[in-house]
Chain A
Amino acid sequence: MERVAIIGASMTPFGQRDAWVRELLAEAGAAALDDAGIDGDDLDHLYVSNMASGEFEGQTGVPNALAHDLAAQPAYTARIDQTSSSGGAGVYAAWQSVASGASDLTMLVGGEKMTHRTTSEATDVIASLTHPVEYKQGVTLPSFAGMTARLYLDEYDAPRESLGKVAVKNHKNGVDNPHAQFRKEVDLDTVLDSPIVADPLRLYDFCPITDGSAALVFCPESVAEEYVPEDEYAVVSGIGGATDTHVVHERADPTTMGGVVDSSEIAYEMAGIGPDDVDVAELHDMFTILEFLQSEDLGFFEKGEGWKAVEEGVTDRDGELPINTSGGLKSKGHPLGASGVAQVYEIYEQVTGDAGPRQVEADTGLACNVGGFGNCVTTAILEGNQ
């Protein structure tokens, strides 16, 4: 199996954009081609991570549209939908295409256009991933988060404030990310006094609705230096994907995300490392509670101890294990199909030493992308050549 390198990356500004999905994808795609020093027609494969362009915008067939816009034909194209983890699933597909030898040059572009919809409509599009017995009760992803947060706080005797500190930390990190939707610090009182969305979680416990796109270019490591210098590419040293139950209430322990546990075990084994070897991580903080659950289920902290790490500053940018240096979904924004790609973009920037004011000391980074409420998960590990 070929070792796979990432030789180019880009992301558009995230936020409320005038551009529609086709334009967003083309913007990120063209920038990533430029970053890797290649043209569209150099690509063998072109993947698009997108959850719901048909539902949001009435635009389907986006991979073919993108191939045409970038003059990438006759590249093989496919749309990768795995709900909120479409981006991570796209990283998996792109890695697989090169690792298998099927493609010598693959680009992945993730993108979503959402902000033209009301919050209620966007919430419903996302909630449509649920089982009929959940959907008819009016469940939303935020309400799963509220129920899980209440159980976590109760089971592990964690203070409500610890969830708020995730939002404070990630907003602080986002200030230094020029692509982030919110580049503004918030204080704990603001988080704790914000309107209730899904009790006990409040507005600032949730990521925003976002437009945006991000892209990555993959090739065999053996030829990476034909495109970029050695210290400008990263290797996908481990990657894993896994699913948990579709029906959320059927999980044995609702405070454990089985897909995070299983996907990370695969990724760690492939990379030949363990959680202690990770220097920086991007986690799927669609809701503050998810940062606790993932940081525990990835093995960074013991079960029920993730909140203490945030309280003690371990996950701050200058802490022992920086988490969400990009600002996370919380401050950077969450354009569904783009998010998992943008997580890997941040890790790529970190391990190639190109993260600017957000830079931490990192040789090895991890990105964990969660679909649904942990229904589908991918974990990717990148290593730099610094």
Chain B
Amino acid sequence: MSENTQADEPTFEAAEYADGTVTYPPHTVSPNGAERVGTVDLREYEGEILTWTTSTATPPGVREPNTLAIVEFDLGDEYDGPAVRALGQIAEREDGTGETFDVDIGDRVEPVYADELREPGAGIREPESQEWDGFRFRPL
């Protein structure tokens, strides 16, 4: 479950639709039914913690405890669609303790890539059916 900051890391891909809305994750159509016209890389944006929890009863293959937050991205003044949010783990401190950063509602955060968020195959979901890397959030 290591983190890296390599330039070739995958994008944090949200979908943009013909009606101007953006969603994460991408869907077939927008909430209003408009078709997809492009993507937005959420790595380029900062966000704010809407709410968070620390889960102490985690499923197989998930770190314990697992601090999770719902983050609302700031896509700039020109974006006037529905809020663009993501659910993500809070990143671990870089002091070697393995503890995650302390966070609270309203804190500013940035995405940070992790090549494995939980152990594929440890839980019930078929490992090949989805990706297991993704983004955590680190306080700014």
Seen from chain B, the residues whose Cβ lies within 8 Å of a Cβ on chain A are 23-25, 31, 50-63, 66, 68-70, 82-83, 85-89, 105, 117-118, 123-125, 129-134
B101 vs chain A, min Cβ distance (A) = 15
For residue A230, CB closer than 8 A to chain B, the reply is no
Contacts of B68 in A (CB 8 A): 137-139, 143, 147
A160 CB to nearest chain B CB (Å): 14
Contact A135 B125 (CB under 8 A): yes
- In the complex formed, the residue of B with least CB distance to A127 is B59
Contact of A119 (CB < 8 Å), options: B24, B57, B66:
B57
Asked if B124 and A128 make an inter-chain contact with CB atoms under 8 angstroms apart, the answer reads: yes
Count how many pairs of residues, one from A and one from B, have CB atoms less than 8 Å apart in the complex. 126
Name the A residues within 8 Å of B62 (CB-CB): 138
Q: Is the CB of B58 within 8 A of A120?
A: yes
Structural contact, A138 and B117, CB atoms closer than 8 A: yes
Known: A125-B124, A138-B62. A198 touches B53 (CB 8 A): yes
With beta carbons under 8 angstroms apart, the residue of B63, B86, B105, B129 that contacts A138 is B63
Instruction: Report the separation of the CA atoms of residues A201 and B55 in the bound assembly, to the nearest whole angstrom.
Output: 9
Q: What residue of chain A has the Cβ atom nearest to residue B69's Cβ?
A: A147
Name A146's contact: one of B24, B55, B134 (CB within 8 Å).
B55
A71 at the interface (CB under 8 A from B): no
Q: Does A124 contact B (CB under 8 A)?
A: yes
Q: Which residues of A contact B86 (CB under 8 A)?
A: 133, 249
* Extra inter-chain contacts (5) besides given A140-B57, A197-B57, CB under 8 Å: A124-B123, A140-B58, A142-B57, A146-B55, A147-B51
Residues of A within 8 A of B133 (CB): 136
Please, how many angstroms separate the alpha-carbon atoms of A325 and B70 in the complex?
Answer: 34
Mostly, the A contact residues are helix
**Closest B residue by C-beta to A125:** B124
Taking a contact as CB atoms under 8 Å apart, the answer to whether A252 and B83 are in contact is yes
C-alpha spacing A195/B118, complex, angstroms:
24
Q: 8 Å CB contacts to B: which residues of A116-138? A: 119-121, 123-125, 127-128, 131-138
In the complex, A140→B25 CA distance in Å?
A: 18
Contact (Cβ within 8 A) B60 A143: no
Closest 10 A-B residue pairs measured CB to CB? A146-B53, A138-B62, A124-B59, A132-B130, A151-B51, A143-B55, A249-B85, A147-B51, A199-B54, A133-B25
Contacts of B58 in A (CB 8 A): 120, 123, 138, 140
Please state if A154 and B105 are interface contacts (CB–CB under 8 Å): yes
Q: Once the chains are docked, how many angstroms separate the CA of A199 from the CA of B23?
A: 27
A60 nearest CB across to chain B (Å): 15
Give Cα A293 to B60, complex, Å. Answer: 30
Which residues of chain A are near B85, meaning CB under 8 Å? 249-250
Please tell me if A248 contacts chain B, counting CB pairs below 8 Å. yes
CB of A196 closer than 8 Å to a CB of B: yes
- Are the C-beta atoms of A198 and B24 separated by less than 8 Å? no
CB of A140 within 8 A of CB of B51, answer: no
**Between-chain CB contacts (< 8 Å), 23 pairs:** A124-B59, A124-B60, A127-B123, A128-B123, A128-B125, A131-B25, A132-B129, A136-B117, A136-B131, A136-B134, A137-B68, A138-B55, A138-B61, A138-B118, A140-B59, A147-B51, A147-B53, A147-B70, A249-B70, A250-B23, A250-B31, A250-B85, A252-B83
Residue with the greatest number of chain A CB neighbours at <10 A, chosen from B53, B55, B129: B53
Nearest neighbor of A138 in chain B, beta-carbon distance: B62
A247 → chain B, closest Cβ, in Å? 7
In the complex, residue of chain B having the shortest beta-carbon distance to the beta carbon of A55: B124
Q: How far is the CA of A23 from the CA of B58 in the complex (A)?
A: 31
Could you give, for residues 59-91 of chain A, a 1 whenever the CB lies within 8 Å of some chain B CB and a 0 otherwise? 000000000000000000000000000000000
Q: Give chain A residues whose Cβ lies under 8 Å from the Cβ of B87.
A: 133-134, 137, 139, 248-249
Shortest A293–chain B CB gap in Å is 14
Question: Least Cβ distance of A196 to chain B in Å?
Answer: 6
Instruction: Give the contacting residue for B118; candidates A136, A147, A198, A200; CB below 8 A.
Output: A136
Say yes or no: A137 contacts B88, CB within 8 Å.
yes
Contact mask for chain A residues 212-232; partner B; CB cutoff 8 A; 1 contact, 0 none: 000000000000000000000
In the complex the two chains form, is A195's CB within 8 Å of B50's CB?
no
Chain A residues positioned under 8 Å from B88 (CB to CB): 137
CA distance in complex: A127, B118 (Å)? 14
Tell me if B55 and A133 are in contact (CB < 8 A).
no
| A112 nearest CB across to chain B (Å) | 16
Instruction: Give Cα A139 to B58, complex, Å.
Output: 8
